[in-house]
Amino acid sequence: MNQVRSCWGVLLNKAQEEVGRIQAELQPLRERMLSLQASAQRLQQLHQDYLRPPQAGEVSTGMLETLNRRQFADQILVLIDRVERDKAQVEQITAQTRARLLTAERERMKMQALVDQDAQQVKASTRLREQRQLDEMGTMRFNLSSGV
């Protein structure tokens, strides 16, 4: 064994590419989650504003406007529920993607270990071969100096 086998390097590169691809999938999921969290916060604030009773000194609203405000607040609750479901879905997809990333990372580490192991074997084989050559040269030199 004189050289490191190239197959392990190729497999390591494929594993690294897979890890990179999965990490790239996580970024849009993080951005989507931040967007959904911001939307949920805005909707919560809007809902609280519409449920707040008129302050002292404000003109009292009529029955129809009060009904409209409640109806709009209910629609906001439906939107909040939808955003929460979307958040749960993104969290689930993120968890699945992270699990895939963990598996891909383990695979990359295996491939790296195989590359390192092969390099160590080549190094040991080279060292052994060189030691044998030195031993043979030493034996030949001894035999030549002894006159055998």
Q: Tens digits of per-residue pLDDT, 51-89?
A: 776 665 566 667 777 788 888 889 999 999 999 999 999
pLDDT band for 13, please (50, 70, 90 cuts).
Answer: very high
Rounded-to-integer distance, Cα 61 and Cα 58, Å = 9
* Phi, psi angle pair for 72, to nearest 5°: -65, -40
- Residue range 6-116 in CATH 1.10.287: yes
Looking at the whole model, is its pTM more than 0.85? no
pLDDT at 39 over 70: yes
Q: Which of 122, 41, 130, 22 is nearest to 80 (CA)?
A: 41
Cα end-to-end distance, the chain, whole Å: 34
Residue 56: per-residue pLDDT: 57
Contact 8, 108 (CB under 8 A): no
Residue ranges of the domains in the chain? 6-116
> Which residues fall within 8 angstroms of residue 54, CB to CB, at 6 or more apart?
60, 61
- Burial readout 118-137 (b: 16 or more C-beta within 10 A, e: otherwise): beeeeeeeeeeeeeeeeeee
How confident is the prediction for the chain on average, in pLDDT?
89
pLDDT tens sequence across 120-145: 999 999 999 999 999 899 888 888 88
Nearest CA among 8, 1, 19 for reference residue 113? 8
